[in-house]
Structure 1
Amino acid sequence: MSNSNEPMTGPVTSADRPAPIQAIPVRHWGQMIAGVIVIALLAAFLYAVATNQNIDWSIVGENLFNSTILSGLWITISLTILSMIIGIVLGIGLAIMRLSPNRVLNSVAAGYIWIFRGTPQLVQLLLWFNLALFFPRLGIGDFSVDTNTVITAFVAALLGLGLNEGAYMAEIVRGGILSVDHGQSEASMALGMRRQKTMFKIVLPQAMRVIIPPMGNDLITMLKMTSLVTVIAAPDLLNRAQTISVRNFYIFELLIVASIWYLVLTTIATIIQSRLEKRFARGIAARPSTRARVLKNLKPGRVESIAAVTEPNATPEDHGVKS
């Protein structure tokens, strides 16, 4: 009499194979109901806005591509790009100074960040715009120029936005630099690389993966913060929309026009940020560990012996190695 626990011999037929598992997805009724409610509320809101008799949508369409609006749009884009360039350059320099063992550089950077992060950006814009009240002329010795000639509304906006952004960017870059393993710097300096070259060739490229997400968020914030320059009469997008609304008395319609363009620019900035994040994250998720790379280059017998010692329950296949 044969033992029922003995393994079966002979060819395996389809009747001997176990039936495939029928996976039934779990229905999340709560999420479905919540989604329907949110869609219904959003549709009701859009319908109420679209059919509102107090909003003249023809005015929105007429002014969406108005030359005055487009000129303000260009000023907004220019302020955003130039202010971010100033902020990034300042931020990298201040972050390196904050991490420097030199106490003077460290203190200067810390003081700069403290002042510009501790005062409202609107106050900084007003101070730069009214700089002529304290310094009527700028220059050295006999060479000087009228402050109002140099510090125009656009220049005051650029200084107020760019210098303030530098303080916030410094902390973003510093956090990215600290995220890189210190052994990277030690290894490069052991090979004879100078500290400056190590920072720009080894550390910063690796830190970009951590820096890009908050930097993209700052770019979007900067794009919207340019609307503050309206208080100093800089001809940005919001200022141009308000100028038109003063003439035709369609205040809400022109605000909708400005909001549409801000949404378009924010969407473009979000797409660029997403592409940059993917580019700097290439190879990070799929990069094998050092242990897996070592095991891959060993003979199968050697792999089994190492795995038996380090992980008794693991197999070579668990590390991507074929025995």
Structure 2
Amino acid sequence: MDIIQNLDFGAALHDLTPMLWSGLWIALEATICGFIIAFVLGTVIAIGRISKSKILRGVLVVFLEIIRGTPLLVQLVYMYYVAPLLISLVVQIWTPGYQLSFSPFIAGALGLGINYGCYLSEVIRASILSVDRGQTEAALALGYTSRQSLWSIVIPQATRSAVPVFGNYLVMMIKDTSLLAFITVNELLLRAQTYASQTFLTIESYTILAIAYLIISLPLAQLMGLLERRLAKRG
């Protein structure tokens, strides 16, 4: 009962709102950067997976298994603490004394991009394979090269059909930005943790944080659903 009586949501809401608002912009920036990286990487991997090179396909399969077989949080920590050291060791072969470091934000965006890029690659690959082979053959008959037909005919159609799935992954990525707190990115979760540790308003802080994520993700999920229905009607 004492805990309930001591709850002060008014003070927590008053103090946390501007803090979470600032953290929201950082989370959105990380999401946008991470999703761009994921889309580019996913497209490259998808094209590589359908190439004729067995070696390339084998290397990409191993890479995908490594990324999909390890937790995103571990990948973020690895990207922040370990990857710069490994890159520095390699570069020092040619440039002695070279030292590389990633800011928490850059490490977070790269980690999100690489992780989600591996999952998006399967979506893009399936979308590419779903495009009627006859369209590629028609493009070749009209004088297109294989590369031109892929980028001008196949990729645009595959991307359009994959948009609804992209939307789902975008919503997931926004929620996964909370993991960036573990590499000291000052986003929503880290700000709520800091406030809770300073004020001991633990219940209030994390409840408001959860509501903030709901306010962000639920409307976006509804928007993605609406987009999916409109694309289905056009199709």
Q: What band does the TM-score fall into relative to the shorter chain?
A: 0.7 to 0.9
- Please tell me whether the aligned partners of residues 85 and 99 of structure 2 are also in contact (alpha carbons under 8 angstroms): no
**Aligned partners of 2:146, 2:204: CA distance in 1, in Å?**
56
SS in 2 for 1:101: coil
Question: Unaligned stretches of 5+ in structure 1?
Answer: 1-51, 285-323
Find out whether 1:265 has 2:216 as its counterpart. yes
Rg comparison, structure with higher value = 1
Matched residue SS, 2:234: coil
Q: How far apart in 2 are the matches of 1:176 and 1:184?
A: 14
TM-score normalised by L of structure 2: 0.87
Match of 1:120 among 52, 61, 71: 71
Note the alpha carbon deviations across 1:55-84, whole angstroms, 9 max, x for none. Answer: 422134313522x32221111111111111
Aligned to 2:99: 146
- Pick the aligned partner of 2:119 from 168, 174, 186: 168
Aligned to 1:58: 10
Is 1:157 matched up with 2:121? no
**Corresponding residue for residue 308 of structure 1:** none
CA RMSD between the two structures? 2.3
2:37 and 2:132 mapped to 1: Cα distance?
28
Distance 1:253 1:182, change over 3 A: same
Task: For residue 146 of structure 1, give the secondary structure of its aligned residue in structure 2.
Answer: coil
Name which of 47, 50, 53 aligns with 1:99. 50
Q: Distance in 2 between matches of 1:191 and 1:263?
A: 50
- Return 5+ residue gaps in structure 2 as ranges: none
User: Structure 1 residue 207 and structure 2 residue 151: aligned?
Assistant: no
Q: Determine the C-alpha separation between the residues in 1 that align with 2:96 and 2:220.
A: 43
Q: What per-residue deviation string (whole Å, max 9, x for no partner) do you get for residues 190-218 of structure 1? A: 21112222122211222234312221111
Distance 2:142 2:231 in 1: 25
8 Å Cα contact 1:76/1:236 also seen in 2: yes
Number of positions where the alignment pairs a residue of Structure 1 with one of Structure 2: 230
Report the structure, 1 or 2, having the larger helix content.
2
Q: State the percentage of identical aligned residues.
A: 38
User: Where does residue 34 of structure 1 map in the other structure?
Assistant: none
**8 A Cα contact 2:84 2:102, kept in partner:** no
Shift of residue 120, structure 1, vs aligned partner: 1.2
Runs of 4+ in structure 1 deviating by more than 4 angstroms, as ranges, are none
Partner of 1:130: 81
Structure-1-length-normalised TM-score: 0.65
Q: Distance in 2 between matches of 1:78 and 1:268?
A: 18
